[in-house]
Amino acid sequence: DVQVLPSFQHYEPQAVAVIGPDSSRLALTTAAVLSLFLVPEISYEASTESLSLKRLYPSFLRTIPSDRQQVKAIFLLLQHFGWTWVVLLGSDNTYGRASLDALQELLTAGNVCVAYRGTLPVNSDANNPELHNLVQILTDVKVNVTVVFSTRGSALPFFEVVVQRNITGMVWVASEDWSLAPSIWQVPGIQNIGLVFGMAIEKPESTMLERFEAWKMLEEGAEAECASSAEAGRESGGNMQLDCTQCCTGCRALATVPDMYDAQGSFNVYSAVYAVAYGLHDLLGCASGACSKGTVYPWQLLQKIRQVNFTLYKSPISFDANGDIHKGYDIIMWKWRGPNWASDVIGTFRVNPDRLSIDPDKILWHTEDGQAPSSVCSEPCEPGEMRLQQSRHKCCFSCVACPPGTFLNTSDPFDCQACGLDEWAPAGSEVCFNRTVEFLSWSEPLSWALLALAALLMLLIVALAVLFALNASTPVVKSAGGKTCFLMLGSLACTCSSLFCYFGEPSRVACLLRVPLFGISFTVFLSCVATRSFQILCIFKLNARCPALYEAWMRRQGPVLFMVASTAAQVLLCVVTEAASPSVPRREYSARDEWVVLECGHNAAADAAIVYTVLLSAGCFVLSYAGTDLPAAYNEAKSLTVSLLLHLGCSAAVLCSQGALRGRAEATARVLSTLGTLAALLGGYFVPRAFVILLRPHQNTAEHFQMAIQEYTRRQAA
């Protein structure tokens, strides 16, 4: 009977440490019991991840890496080759089930899909129908890569069935337990199943393995074999003496069939024993040359074992906080040279930090092109195409191009992300591009050309004003309207100045001024033209028929009243529309995908002003056309009519292009329309008179005008 003591610190068991056992199933039981008394237990084969839980197994340590590290290595191997569509098979025990759970969790987080997960029965044989069903499923799911996380005993009958069913050309990923097991690679015909990658614990120093293989027996005779064995023991073991008690008549050299797996297991035991020895050495203070004779309690030894850090045959031995050894894996690949099996290390997995390295030159693929086979449910989408999931597996999808204005973010291949407000993207894009800011800049060549034309027109207006001022008393200037000419030229100058509001980034002032400034100033000009045309018609045609009408028109200041009234109407129209819906700068994104248009907001003022000037222009056109038979000195119907028609055409073009042209094009169209109108009116009304003043002074006399009136009178009398 075990006497219950008040504290675990008082127990003095005969064994202060335990080495073993050799399986996870047994270790789970022994670790639970020994942990109650904090007796150090170091296993050399138990690798299940749950043994790392210190709250359950505080005294458990191991010299074999945790399956958690093996799971990480397999996951990184699948990721390295881009295999996202795999089958997981595991033995029906703690080793297989727990490892597959951890691996599937990693695969799901890493966007690797499990096409099928199955269990290999324990204590089975190749006649088990469950194994045949598993192999049939492998052929049905059409997966190129299968991970087998199993013990040797469960893997053996499975691969016997795989060979029987003639499964070839696949990639198999082996767990550490069976990757180097002779019972597996000795299955007849297994060399045809495809490529086998496996996990193997880091190799110890080669001299260590040589010591295990040093006991070689000669086949020439029993006595010679015994003598050879004893001599080998003396050479390799130093002071160790081997005594033969009987002769072996059929012994073979241990190196004849090398078993790397057993050698590694032996090294794990060797490491566990050394860890206990180093712990005792430290606990007893043997470093001083004399060891203490005090009582050794298991819990004291446990603390020292956790802290050991030594090198055994160039292999570092130490434990982390979970009692797991700091050791990684070699990635091995089976190689066949005819019927002879061999393995080659083609990569490594190291911990702290976790890193996988693969040497591609050491891999001989079985594919036609010599490249790694693919194992995917769906082929990768083209750049800019999102995945449209077709089943519960994220790896099975169809590809759809992202619509315009969206892009495919690499962080989420299943959804296209919308671009920002100031960005755009064509269909099937991986990135968004900055929109081009669209407006008529001061600095571009087109603006320079338009500004040069506007400046020339302004200079022409100034020149005409100076010329008319110098010749204000001449008949040509008087017939053109006299002092009204200066009002007309001033209004055209204001109209021309409105063009400057279309250049540069729109501002609130520019948006508020450009339409009213154009509309009001141009209305003044048209009012003057209409008044002057009406007066001439009254003088030559209506005065004789209705003299009272002309007298009333002149006596009541009809010309002034008409100009003031028509201009006031335009002013009122602009003020009301701007007050109701002010034109303000805005950023328009719907014109074109790749543009952000800086413009003044469209309002009713622009349309109302243009419509009003068009109606007034039409009235001027009628009045000027009615005077086609007037004296030549007073008849500018042809030139003025053409000018007004050009203005009407420009206005119609502006109205019709409002929806089609945006940004720079719209501003350019409005500037060109205004420039064309100004050039036509100046060329049709003022330039001909300036031509007479400068080049035909003989026509700029009272006699010439009197003769023209007399000629008109005679023609009318006839």
Residue ranges of the chain that CATH labels 1.20.1070:
445-717
Tell me which of 256 and 193 has the higher pLDDT. 193
**How confident is the model over 160-207, as pLDDT tens digits?**
999 999 999 899 999 999 999 899 999 999 999 999 999 998 877 655
Predicted pLDDT at 649 = 81
User: What is the rounded distance in angstroms from the CA atom of residue 283 to the CA atom of residue 112?
Assistant: 48
Is pLDDT of 462 > 80? Answer: yes
**How confident is the model over 368-388, as pLDDT tens digits?**
888 899 999 888 889 999 999
Assigned fold of 445-717: Rhopdopsin 7-helix transmembrane proteins (1.20.1070)
Q: Interhelix angle for 664-681 vs 445-470, to 10°?
A: 20
Closest CA to 435 of 586, 587, 318: 587
| Coil vs helix vs strand at 639 | helix
**How confident is the model over 240-253, as pLDDT tens digits?**
344 444 555 444 44
Average the pLDDT over 261-270 and give the result. Answer: 77
Lowest-confidence pick of 119-133, 233-247, 407-421, 480-494: 233-247
Q: Which CATH number fits domain 1-64+270-327: 3.90.1300.10, 3.40.50.2300, 3.30.420.40, 3.40.50.300?
A: 3.40.50.2300
Where helices occur in 322-472 by DSSP H, the ranges are 445-470
Architecture of domain 67-201+329-345: 3-Layer(aba) Sandwich (3.40)
Predicted pLDDT at 215 = 42
Are 583 and 512 a contacting pair, CB within 8 Å?
Answer: yes
Tell me which of 55 and 370 has the higher pLDDT. 55
Average the pLDDT over 434-457 and give the result. Answer: 93
Closest CA to 598 of 504, 674, 524: 504
**What DSSP element (H or E) covers 302?**
helix 298-306
Residue ranges of the chain that CATH labels 3.40.50.2300:
1-64+270-327, 67-201+329-345
Which of the four pLDDT bands, split at 50, 70 and 90, describes residue 360? very high
Predicted pLDDT at 500 = 92
Where helices occur in 110-246 by DSSP H, the ranges are 129-141, 152-164, 182-185, 206-212, 222-237
Are 61 and 268 a contacting pair, CB within 8 Å?
Answer: no
- The pair phi, psi for residue 318, each rounded to 5°, is -160, 165
Predicted pLDDT at 228 = 46
**How confident is the model over 425-442, as pLDDT tens digits?**
999 999 999 999 989 999
Max avg pLDDT among 451-460, 537-546, 568-577, 611-620 = 451-460
| Token digits of residue 163 | 């060979």
Q: Average pLDDT, whole number, for the chain?
A: 84
Average the pLDDT over 678-705 and give the result. Answer: 85
Predicted pLDDT at 243 = 47
**How confident is the model over 88-138, as pLDDT tens digits?**
999 999 889 999 999 999 999 988 999 999 999 988 898 999 999 999 999
Its pTM stands at 0.61
Is pLDDT of 542 > 80? Answer: no
Predicted pLDDT at 252 = 46
- The pair phi, psi for residue 265, each rounded to 5°, is -60, -40
Per DSSP, the residues of 426-449 read -TT-SS-EEPEEES--TTSHHHHH
Tell me which of 647 and 414 has the higher pLDDT. 414
Predicted pLDDT at 229 = 45
What Rg value do the Cα atoms of the chain yield, rounded?
A: 51
| Coil vs helix vs strand at 132 | helix
**How confident is the model over 704-718, as pLDDT tens digits?**
777 766 676 666 665
**How confident is the model over 531-541, as pLDDT tens digits?**
887 777 776 66
**Which amino acid appears at position 400 of this protein?**
V
Predicted pLDDT at 216 = 39
